[in-house]
């Protein structure tokens, strides 16, 4: 197999790039430590939806954020569109992966890539498995969880022949094994492995989604403890052209003896790595700003003021039921102090059990809290609150 530079080494990375990586470590750790514990779980779930929206948007899925919010408000749909079904399945795969113990050894394995691919496609209708060859119009059947067995072309890029895949995938596992990479080199490896996996193109279809889910998990095992509270797919998807341009730059063949020793351009890889780190930094900064305490409090004030006045609408433009003023106090208590029992809330608000029951019922119906019987009340993020509490998320 022809040689490929695995990633930009710490010795050759420009100082500005190394500084950016250190800033990424710092901001990620700060975000992870500063988020209120009560908000962590709702935010992680919300980010799975955002991650899914943007990852599928890159692949041409036309679903609008309002459709996603509407589906959340309405609950399970009898016949969701294929586009919405694709996003729903993507969220389910992320949830499943989050519940697994993904080790540094497993994240880089063939089995992990095959597992992601099979889990995404196996639950989708047969229509998702019929892939049309754009040149011949031949319909090819996709097998979930199976590496491709034929030559393909992706735009101007011709990935390795099918018979070469085992060698390239073995190289991939060895080159990016996180147990053998340390410190900031793991972030350099995360960037490069994203491109190299896309370049190898191991599946007949679904490589983009699998590649971005792989990168999500690679970043987590690489030591970015706050990952999951921010999403790099959001950065990729907000400017798809820049994403594809950066991938294309790293596809470039080596340009002479000063451009590395492998078949691909080291200069192109550096350009993609810089793009990857800049995108990650931008996303960490954005989500950190969303959770800045004073600004978040101000947005909560606006949301509950509008709900109390009955002037806020849902995703269909319908006015939402007004909430009692005490709802804001409960929300803030749950946000900054964690789960509360009903007696604790009755005491802090100075209201009767009947009054509290009415308020909690309203908030639960609005999706702002979870209030199972005889259990503490916890915070939730309702579809109607997301756009006000987390502006420009989509």
> Residue 5 domain-assigned?
no
Q: Residues 102, 173: one domain?
A: yes
Tokens 């009560």 appear where? 38
Higher pLDDT, 46 or 66: 46
Classify 132 as helix, strand or coil: strand
Q: Residues 279, 354: one domain?
A: no
For residue 173, CA distances in Å to 105, 122, 215, 250, 325 come to: 9, 25, 14, 19, 56
Q: What is the DSSP string of 33-67?
A: HHS-HHHHHHHHHHHHHHHHHHHHHHTT----HHH
288, pLDDT greater than 90: yes
* pLDDT tier for residue 1 given thresholds of 50, 70 and 90: low
Q: Residues 347, 246: one domain?
A: no
pLDDT, position 384: 84
Closest by CA to 231, choosing from 43, 50, 31, is 50
Q: Spell out the residues 6+ positions from residue 276 whose beta carbon is closer than 8 angstroms to its own.
A: 190, 191, 194, 232, 246
Q: Which domain holds residue 110?
A: 15-290
Q: Residues 192, 298: one domain?
A: no
Q: Residues 40, 117: one domain?
A: yes
Q: Residues 346, 255: one domain?
A: no
What are the tokens at 352? 């009767």
What are the tokens at 231? 């999403």
> Residue 205 domain-assigned?
yes
Q: How many domains does the chain have?
A: 2
Q: Residues 244, 255: one domain?
A: yes
Rounded to whole angstroms, the Cα distance separating 22 from 32 reads 16
Quickly count: other Cβ atoms within 10 Å of residue 165's Cβ. 20
Higher pLDDT, 138 or 159: 159
pLDDT, position 2: 65
> Beta partners for 132?
139
Please write the tens of the pLDDT for every residue from 296-340.
Answer: 999 999 999 999 999 998 877 889 999 999 999 999 999 999 999
Q: Residues 283, 323: one domain?
A: no
> Residue 90 domain-assigned?
yes
Please write the tens of the pLDDT for every residue from 225-237.
Answer: 999 999 999 999 9
Whether the Cβ atoms of residue 68 and residue 84 lie closer than 8 Å to each other: yes
> Residue 7 domain-assigned?
no
Q: Residues 259, 209: one domain?
A: yes
For residue 128, CA distances in Å to 16, 59, 147, 230, 329 come to: 43, 13, 16, 29, 47
Residue where one domain finishes, among candidates 232, 266, 290: 290
Q: Residues 188, 259: one domain?
A: yes
Tell me what percent of the residues of the chain surpass a pLDDT of 90.
81
> Residue 9 domain-assigned?
no
Whether the Cβ atoms of residue 205 and residue 159 lie closer than 8 Å to each other: no
Residue where one domain finishes, among candidates 263, 290, 317: 290
> Residue 56 domain-assigned?
yes
What are the tokens at 188? 């350099």
pLDDT, position 39: 92
Q: Residues 378, 250: one domain?
A: no
> Residue 6 domain-assigned?
no
pLDDT, position 156: 82
Please write the tens of the pLDDT for every residue from 48-60.
Answer: 999 999 999 999 9
What's the CATH number where 159 sits? 1.10.3290.10
Q: Is 130 left (phi over 0), alpha (psi -120 to 50) or beta?
A: beta
Q: Residues 127, 78: one domain?
A: yes
> Residue 2 domain-assigned?
no
Higher pLDDT, 82 or 66: 82
pLDDT, position 76: 65
What's the CATH number where 330 sits? 1.10.10.10
């Amino acid at each position: 197999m022809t040689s490929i530079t695995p990633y930009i080494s710490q010795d050759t990375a420009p100082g500005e790039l190394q500084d950016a990586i250190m800033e990424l470590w710092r901001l990620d750790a700060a975000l992870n430590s500063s988020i209120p514990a009560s908000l962590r779980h709702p935010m992680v779930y919300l980010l799975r939806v955002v991650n899914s929206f943007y990852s599928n948007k890159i692949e041409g899925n036309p679903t609008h954020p309002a459709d996603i919010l509407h589906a959340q408000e309405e609950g399970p749909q009898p016949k969701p569109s294929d586009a919405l079904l694709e996003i729903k399945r993507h969220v389910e795969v992320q949830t499943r992966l989050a519940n697994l113990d993904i080790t540094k050894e497993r994240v880089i394995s063939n089995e992990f890539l095959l597992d992601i691919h099979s889990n995404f496609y196996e639950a989708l209708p047969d229509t998702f498995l019929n892939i049309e060859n754009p040149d011949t119009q031949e319909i090819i059947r996709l097998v979930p969880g199976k590496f491709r067995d034929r030559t393909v072309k992706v735009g101007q890029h011709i990935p390795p022949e099918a018979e070469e895949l085992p060698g390239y995938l073995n190289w991939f596992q060895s080159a990016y094994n996180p147990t053998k990479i340390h410190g900031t080199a793991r972030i350099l490896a995360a960037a490069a492995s994203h491109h190299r996996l896309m370049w190898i193109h191991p599946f007949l279809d679904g490589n983009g989604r699998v590649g971005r889910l792989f990168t999500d998990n690679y970043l987590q095992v690489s030591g970015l403890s706050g990952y999951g509270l921010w999403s790099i797919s959001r950065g990729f998807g907000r400017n798809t052209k820049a994403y594809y341009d950066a991938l294309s730059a790293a596809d470039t063949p080596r340009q002479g003896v000063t451009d590395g020793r492998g078949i691909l351009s080291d200069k192109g890889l550096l350009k993609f790595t810089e793009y990857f780190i800049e995108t990650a930094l931008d996303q960490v900064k954005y989500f950190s700003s969303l959770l800045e305490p004073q600004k978040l409090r101000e947005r909560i004030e606006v949301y509950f003021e509008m709900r109390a006045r009955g002037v806020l609408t849902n995703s269909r433009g319908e006015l939402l039921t007004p909430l009692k003023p005490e709802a804001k106090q409960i929300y803030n208590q749950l946000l900054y102090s964690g789960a509360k029992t009903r007696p604790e809330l009755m005491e802090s608000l100075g209201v009767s059990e009947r009054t509290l029951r009415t308020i909690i019922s309203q908030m639960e119906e609005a999706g702002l809290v979870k209030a199972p019987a005889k259990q503490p009340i916890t915070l939730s993020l309702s579809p109607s609150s997301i756009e006000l509490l987390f502006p420009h998320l989509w």
